[in-house]
Amino acid sequence: MILLDQIKETGIVAVIRGASEENIIPIANALKNGGVTALEITLETPGALSAIEKLAVELGDEVIAGAGTVLDPETARAAIMAGARFVFSPTVNIETIKLTKRYGVLSIPGALTPTEILTAYENGADLIKVFPAHAFGPKYLKDIHGPLPQIPLMPTGGVNLENIGDFVRAGAVAAGIGSNLVNTKREINEEYLAQLEETARAYSQAFKEAKKQ
């Protein structure tokens, strides 16, 4: 549970699509310098497993490297063997949760309805990715926590600097941030990496400030 505590403490998970083995280390270092150390590498990207492995080998405990868009247990195992320390899924697949827990890795499935959220939690999920969060907004998290206060929720999808505070005050223990934080369609040069570091720092500060309220 130490990794889960680390994610809750830093509060931000960078959802990185389009990362390559060549650009993942500069991106990761910029994020880390800005205070974001949990990095989700989505597996629909060609070469994503190689990027995860490179992160695990070169940065080790400096960042928490995980896999995203994991749809089945076979893919989860491949990601874990590459070095993923958490497994994100867009949906609830119980066999994927079980496989992930069998290897002692954090399981973070995506769910939206109360039934999906509770089912994932009862089957061993460590943290529930409420996705897509923007569809219902921060009040939805607060409503879910009414009858299910014991389940840790992490909104993902449409979370930005303007609304992250509202999500945290509604009970989010962390937030997944995608292209609003990391946009791999941009040229990964020194200027972009400096901007990325500043954006990461802004998200980290916004999360911490909201937690105090």
Amino acid at 94: I
Is position 129 annotated as part of the catalytic site?
yes
Helix axes 24-33, 48-59, angle to 10 degrees: 50
Q: Which two three-digit tokens encode residue 99?
A: 């496989």
Element (DSSP H or E) covering residue 88? strand 86-88
* Cβ pair 71, 45 in contact under 8 A: no
CA distance 72 to 116: 17
Residue with tokens 């105090």: 212
CA distance 167 to 46: 32
Amino acid at 196: L
**Catalytic residue of the set 53, 54, 129, 197:** 129
**Residue of 104, 120, 102 lying closest to 112 (CA atoms):** 120
Is position 40 annotated as part of the catalytic site?
yes
**Catalytic residue of the set 40, 53, 54, 197:** 40
Which residues belong to the active site? 40, 129
